[in-house]
Structure 1
Amino acid sequence: MEEQEFVTYAVADQIATITLNRPEKRNALNAKVVTELKEAFAQAAQDTEAKVIVLAAAGDAFCAGADLAYLQELQQNTYEENLADSNHLKELFYQIYTHPKVVIASIQGHAIAGGSGLAAVCDFSFAAPHAKFGYTEVRIGFIPAIVMVFLLRKIGEGKSKSLLLSGELIDAQKAKDLGMVNEVVAPEELEERVKTFASKLARKNSGQSMAATKQMIAQVQAMSLEDGLNYAAEQNALARATEDCQKGIANFLNKQQ
């Protein structure tokens, strides 16, 4: 991947770290930031040295959502141009949600609007206590359209309505209580906690199994009960023939790692 302006990519100890690096704009999203994130996640998918991904951010904020100056520029666009831009963002969220590797958000500061959306599409989220979350789009006459699809899946309709319709900000503990965040961690311990958790996944779990499980979670929710069970049975049968499964069971029976 070529050197980027707003996103950095690094790999160490089987962990790929993708970092939003636009701190002067509170890591706000515009077309270029979204493009660079998509390129970084595409690289991580093909990176044989990376088994788990951490999404982090530089500066005080994790992500302030859409760049409002950029949104103002888009008001001059045609419907077709705005639809293309919306699809660009949609593709990023879908890419992360369906990514073959586990994605962990390290949220050191506020995650607002699209920033909360980024946290929601990650598989795990760890946040500092002072971090604020919220979908503030309704307060500026906008709508939380794309992020809504994933939030409903993550925490359900009732909890989602309270956030999406009120536009209120909540702290990290409240976000954890709602199911948006997995752990609240002291700021000085956040980076190490995320690294320890990511390393544990990389060391103990099959990358093949995590990828297949993520794919199933994304697919099965849209199926009927019967179709979902048929799909699950097929995936179960396929998994038994994989190299990871055969090696894993053999090693377990032989009391090996």
Structure 2
Amino acid sequence: MEECLLVERDGPVTWLTLNRPDRLNALSDELLKSLGDALEESTSTDAAVVVIRGSGRSFCAGYDIAPDSAEVGYAAERTPVQDRDRLLGNIELFTRIWRHPQPVIAQVHGHCVAGGAQLASLCDITIVAEDAKIMTSPALPLGGGYLSPLWVHRVGPQRAKLMSFDAGRKISGKVAAEWGWAAEAVPADDLESYVRRTAHSLARTPAPLLRLKKEAVNRTIELQGLLTYARTGAETDALLHQTPEVKYFQESIKELGLKGAIAAFNAPFAERFGRDA
């Protein structure tokens, strides 16, 4: 069985590749655990920079909510407290990226959806392909508040609300950089070589200096409440998972599949405004 996370050392740079290309690198429990373990292991190496990327066509399609995934209906199968604890566990993992002693770059191509955007939002530097598709939800209102606080941190409240309220809204990598969600956007064909060059350029600075520089910037953001409101988002999401509306959409995924459930959700809108509205 192929590893769900690939680890590669390239001199002072560690590459962590999400490796579930058949699922667009959707985040399973196994992949999340492997990512956490790899981050922990990287702290004991002499690497100066970490890069997180995705294999295949996309960076990450979010949490795995396909009909044959254990993620489907997870809110309904747990108590609200259990669900909140599960969501907080994900936040804690991504917080480990935020507080990792080495700078972490997210290399984003293809789709970057929901949990994938959450992961990238807590990396130190996000570099995207210009044609990447960035979304805060998998085109269905399956919860709320889990990602929005992190988007407030990156793009401000109005744009965070726009992405959160309008299910399935997406922006290109180019727009993501213009908004400030990403540091830079480059042509897709140049993305890997550009990130590799950037990572090695950062790694010229001694690792202890990089660590203290990172901590200085992060402390400023944390004083503004970043990690507190990221945790608050988990509580809001757990509450919404108990609503009849979200339970309806969860059942719709089971019955129709993810694509079918999205099509059913969009049908009235498409009928009124046209196929491409």
- TM-score relative to the length of structure 2: 0.73
1:121-173 superposed Cα distances (whole Å, 9 cap, x missing partner): 1111222222100112683331241x333322222222222222223111111
Q: Which structure's relative contact order is higher, taking Cα pairs within 8 Å and 6+ residues apart?
A: 2
Give the equivalent residue in structure 2 for 1:152.
Answer: 152
Choose the corresponding residue for 1:31, options 10, 25, 29: 29
Give the equivalent residue in structure 1 for 2:14.
Answer: 16
Q: How many residues align?
A: 219
What residue identity is the alignment partner of 2:58?
A: A
Q: Secondary structure at the match of 2:134?
A: strand
Q: Secondary structure at the match of 1:46?
A: coil
Give the equivalent residue in structure 1 for 2:41.
Answer: 43
Give the equivalent residue in structure 2 for 1:171.
Answer: 172
- Structure 1 residue 6 corresponds to structure 2 residue 4: yes
1:85-128 superposed Cα distances (whole Å, 9 cap, x missing partner): 21221111101111111111111211011111122111112222
Unaligned runs of 5+ in 2: 225-277
* Percent of aligned pairs sharing the same letter: 26
Whether the aligned pair in 1 keeps the contact of 2:51 and 2:107 (CA below 8 Å) is yes
Whether the aligned pair in 1 keeps the contact of 2:113 and 2:138 (CA below 8 Å) is no
Give the equivalent residue in structure 1 for 2:62.
Answer: 65
Q: Distance in 2 between matches of 1:20 and 1:141?
A: 24
Assess, with a 3 A threshold, how the Cα gap between structure 1 residues 60 and 17 changes in structure 2: closer, same or farther. same
Greater fraction of residues in helix: 1
What residue identity is the alignment partner of 1:32?
A: E
Query: How do residues 241-256 of structure 1 correspond to structure 2 at under 5 angstroms?
Result: none
1:150-199 superposed Cα distances (whole Å, 9 cap, x missing partner): 32222222222222222311111111111111222222211111010001
- The CA RMSD over aligned residues, in Å, is 2.0
Query: How do residues 31-180 of structure 1 correspond to structure 2 at under 5 angstroms?
Result: 31-48=29-46, 50-68=47-65, 69-74=69-74, 75-136=76-137, 139-145=140-146, 147-167=147-167, 168-180=169-181
Q: Distance in 2 between matches of 1:17 and 1:222?
A: 27
Unaligned runs of 5+ in 1: 225-257
Moved >3 Å (runs of 4+): 221-224
Give the equivalent residue in structure 2 for 1:230.
Answer: none
Q: Distance in 1 between matches of 2:29 and 2:103?
A: 25
What residue identity is the alignment partner of 1:21?
A: N
Give the equivalent residue in structure 1 for 2:186.
Answer: 185
State which drifts further: 151-160 or 5-14. 151-160
Whether the aligned pair in 2 keeps the contact of 1:20 and 1:56 (CA below 8 Å) is yes
- TM-score relative to the length of structure 1: 0.78
